Structure 1
């Protein structure tokens, strides 16, 4: 059972009340909010070029404008596909904890969180299917931190560690996505439909990130009271790997194949090994890593 440290924290209760009120005040009907054109222009950016996987590399210079636009289309579809997969997984984890021992206090906000994330998954999937004709499969290697019936993880870690890892993973995922959302929402080079879904998602994710940081910090502080040095080191290593995996998932060989580029697997490996990739990951996770290191979650 997760400790009642969450229930005892008046500051956290106040934050939850404000976030829940904000969710109610900002509520919208996504099924009526968006206008879906029959098609989007092919001869334009579908993702801010600075966010594409070839940015800053020799391939950005080699490819024609038409190839770069086509690549941005498929990278855009992959990005929203990752949102669909990530949201589905986080919903499973949060639903499994709502109104359970140790999570009584945040359960009211969990209802808003679950409803909003379900709607996000719908409009991201709608975009992928309308304009890409598919949802890209999730790349292999994703780590999970689900809890078994006995309250422990598949690797024997405790329920406390599992819950901390679950909400830390959700936070990392949301901060990655929001980095992209906030930039594309304001990018006038993109079609208004693309800007619109990024804008509305950024609006909601700002609340979810604020909630996630507070919850992860509380869970971590509680865990540190009883955790061994080995367990804390395991958490740090796990989250470092998850950060890398999350960013690497943006580099999808099927995307390069669909964009008409040759040798997609070799291209992916070359892009992952390029200095530009490391710089892009650092920019994307700058605030996230600072938070994780400040709290001591990541050494």
Structure 2
């Protein structure tokens, strides 16, 4: 998509965008029909199946590395359990950031508009998701894997000063890669029923969030001034680098009895892991490229994150 500011061309570009209120009304209707209460929808009291994974093995960071091939099956499954908890912890951190970004986005808007009403609905969804992920961590018997203090404080600044297009680009980064992995997880019969249930709920409800963020980012990239479009490229590239580093907390390797330095080195050298992360990000990076985010320094930062081939 070519982003321009010429008046006539801008009017044509705006005509291609879906009406903000129309999109929100459809998402509100879908929310009524397809929303879930994890507390009653899932069987939290069922004991875990001893022969099932907490995360598909192919999505575990060390899969198909020399270290993975030396690990006994029990240790591989334990690593999958801890990595699932690490992803759930990352999801909670991200969704708390997202809720603040959404509140900032609608602060000056008419509260009766469908666009604002859907944002409030999404905040309700994200509240349930955060509680659901926290309950999954407790049920899994693992620690909570917090991001580093540096990344925690970087996010504190970002969510306070982020521009609107920057907020929605970061929203999609946190949603779409995990969504791709969860779409592989919930139908996988090798995986624990509770994990499959959690990912199914998240995939169904997250599809609406992705649609809302994509439509708004496309709209913002058409109407934003040039400096803001350049800035969103850089800030999204920074977010991609932080996200890639935070995806699996390296403490999981220590907690399952592995040498952390060796495990981290093998993950970084793994062609399989690189392919998984780039495949998971491809739908997003194609979209960001289309709307003009992946330009210049921002594109180089995305490449350095390992999420863009």
TM range (shorter): 0.7 to 0.9
Which residues of 2 match residues 87-236 of structure 1 at below 5 A? 87-101=95-109, 106-142=115-151, 143-144=154-155, 145-147=158-160, 153=161, 162-223=163-224, 226-228=225-227, 232-236=229-233
- Residue of structure 1 in register with 2:67 after alignment: 59
The separation in 1 between residues aligned to 2:23 and 2:88, in whole angstroms, is 29
**Structure 1 residue 10: deviation in Å?**
5.9
- Residue of structure 2 in register with 1:260 after alignment: 257
* 1:136-169 residue CA offsets vs partner (Å, 9 max, x unmatched): 112355343233xxxxx3xxxxxxx622111111
Aligned in 2, Cα 1:43/1:78: closer, same or farther, shift over 3 Å?
same
- Residue of structure 2 in register with 1:35 after alignment: 43
Q: Do 2:67 and 2:266's aligned partners in 1 also have CA atoms closer than 8 Å?
A: no
The separation in 1 between residues aligned to 2:272 and 2:205, in whole angstroms, is 30
Aligned in 2, Cα 1:92/1:256: closer, same or farther, shift over 3 Å?
same
Q: Counting helix residues as a fraction of each chain, which structure ranks higher?
A: 2
- Residue of structure 1 in register with 2:273 after alignment: 277
The separation in 1 between residues aligned to 2:218 and 2:150, in whole angstroms, is 27
* 1:166-214 residue CA offsets vs partner (Å, 9 max, x unmatched): 1111111010221121111111101111100100110001111111100
Q: Do 2:63 and 2:272's aligned partners in 1 also have CA atoms closer than 8 Å?
A: yes
The separation in 2 between residues aligned to 1:206 and 1:215, in whole angstroms, is 14
Structure 1 gaps of 5+ residues are 148-152, 154-160
Q: TM-score if structure 2 supplies the norm length?
A: 0.82
* 1:49-91 residue CA offsets vs partner (Å, 9 max, x unmatched): 1111012322221211111111101001111111111111111
- Residue of structure 1 in register with 2:283 after alignment: 287
1:245 aligns with 2:242: yes
Aligned in 2, Cα 1:277/1:25: closer, same or farther, shift over 3 Å?
same
Structure 2 gaps of 5+ residues are 1-10, 296-309
Q: Do 1:43 and 1:66's aligned partners in 2 also have CA atoms closer than 8 Å?
A: no
Q: Do 1:35 and 1:193's aligned partners in 2 also have CA atoms closer than 8 Å?
A: yes
* 1:102-159 residue CA offsets vs partner (Å, 9 max, x unmatched): 8965211011101111001111100101223432112355343233xxxxx3xxxxxx
Mean CA deviation greater in 33-42 or 192-201? 33-42
The separation in 2 between residues aligned to 1:254 and 1:42, in whole angstroms, is 24
Q: Do 1:171 and 1:213's aligned partners in 2 also have CA atoms closer than 8 Å?
A: yes
Aligned in 2, Cα 1:198/1:10: closer, same or farther, shift over 3 Å?
closer
**Structure 1 residue 30: deviation in Å?**
2.3
- Residue of structure 1 in register with 2:79 after alignment: 71
Q: Do 1:60 and 1:68's aligned partners in 2 also have CA atoms closer than 8 Å?
A: yes
The separation in 2 between residues aligned to 1:220 and 1:80, in whole angstroms, is 31
* 1:8-31 residue CA offsets vs partner (Å, 9 max, x unmatched): 976222111111100011233222
The separation in 1 between residues aligned to 2:159 and 2:86, in whole angstroms, is 25
The separation in 2 between residues aligned to 1:102 and 1:266, in whole angstroms, is 54
